[in-house]
């Protein structure tokens, strides 16, 4: 049986409306946010990005000039700042060396080559790479995160221990490869879990309740 992914999308969109993701003004800011939000709440990431903005460090040249220690200080609220500041310096250095410091040149790669390039960067795994592909490069990549796995397994669409690629294929195999659809779908899953699943006991009033598997008798 095919999972009711379209129906779930319709229910989420009706309940929450468009989410207008990614919450960033530029591609570079989006990429920084993708690294900063790794295993970290967005409220902490927002503080880190505010520090970067206040210090005019949401620009490529400023990040090139800044030391890793300075960046670490700015992004401190986002946690793991020693690692993430290294990832950022590494990313900026790679874009300079391999793409002349141009995001346009980087994003001129076709989707498979771009994904492979992003995954080669230290600190960029499958979720971060697909987030950048979808929200910065506007490619039809489905972003899988802890929320996506939670919703998928809760509804019996995937197994508890499904791999990243298995979860991604659940969506890409059953939906049209549409950037706007993938954008909204992932954002709605995050909205659902943050606002509802994490705060409401026992899924009471869950927008996806009509789709939940019947409890065993």
Among 11, 38, 114, 158, binds DNA (CB under 7 A): 38
CA 67 – CA 53 distance, rounded (Å): 16
Nearer to DNA, 105 or 198 (CB): 198
| Shortest Å, Cβ 146 to DNA | 4
Question: How big is the site for DNA, counted in residues (CB under 7 A)?
Answer: 42
CA-to-CA dists, residue 12 to 84, 154, 188, 197, angstroms: 33, 16, 6, 13
Contact indicator for 59, 35 with CB cutoff of 8 Å: no
Binding mask 51-90 for DNA (x = CB under 7 A): -------------------------xx-xxxxxx------
Nearer to DNA, 58 or 129 (CB): 129
Greatest CA separation for the chain: 64
Among 28, 31, 33, 154, binds DNA (CB under 7 A): 33
| Shortest Å, Cβ 215 to DNA | 23
Q: For 7, left (φ over 0), alpha (ψ -120 to 50), or beta?
A: alpha
Span 102-161, contacts to DNA by CB under 7 A: 121-129, 131, 135, 145-147, 161
DSSP 3-state percent helix, strand, coil across the chain (nearest 5): 65, 0, 35
Does the footprint of DNA cover residue 22 (CB under 7 A)? yes
Does the footprint of DNA cover residue 28 (CB under 7 A)? no
Provide the CA 171 distance to its chain's centre, in angstroms.
15
Does the footprint of DNA cover residue 200 (CB under 7 A)? no
Helix (H) or strand (E) holding 170: helix 164-172
| Shortest Å, Cβ 81 to DNA | 5
Helix, strand, or coil (residue 112):
helix
| Shortest Å, Cβ 217 to DNA | 29
Nearer to DNA, 19 or 157 (CB): 19
Contact indicator for 4, 211 with CB cutoff of 8 Å: yes
Binding site for DNA (CB under 7 A): 21-23, 33-34, 37-44, 47, 76-77, 79-84, 121-129, 131, 135, 145-147, 161, 163, 190, 193-194, 198
């Amino acid at each position: 049986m095919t999972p009711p992914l379209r129906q779930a999308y319709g229910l989420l969109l009706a309940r929450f409306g468009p989410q207008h993701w990614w919450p960033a003004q530029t591609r570079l800011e989006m990429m920084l946010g993708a690294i900063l939000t790794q295993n970290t709440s967005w409220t902490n990431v927002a503080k880190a990005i505010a520090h970067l903005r206040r210090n005019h460090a949401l620009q490529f040249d400023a990040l090139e000039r800044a030391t890793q220690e300075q960046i670490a200080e700015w992004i401190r609220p986002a946690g793991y700042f020693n690692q993430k500041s290294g990832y950022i310096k590494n990313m900026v250095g790679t874009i300079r060396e391999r793409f002349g410091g141009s995001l346009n040149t980087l994003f001129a790669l076709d989707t498979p080559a771009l994904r492979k390039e992003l995954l080669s960067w230290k600190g960029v795994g499958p979720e971060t790479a697909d987030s950048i592909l979808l929200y910065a490069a506007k490619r039809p990549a489905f972003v899988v995160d802890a929320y996506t796995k939670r919703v998928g397994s809760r509804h019996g669409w995937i197994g508890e221990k499904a791999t990243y690629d298995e979860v991604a294929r659940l969506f890409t195999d059953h939906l049209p490869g549409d950037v706007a659809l993938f954008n909204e779908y992932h954002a709605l899953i995050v909205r659902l879990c943050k606002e509802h699943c994490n705060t409401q006991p026992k899924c009471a009033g869950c927008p996806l309740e009509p789709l939940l598997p019947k409890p065993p008798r």
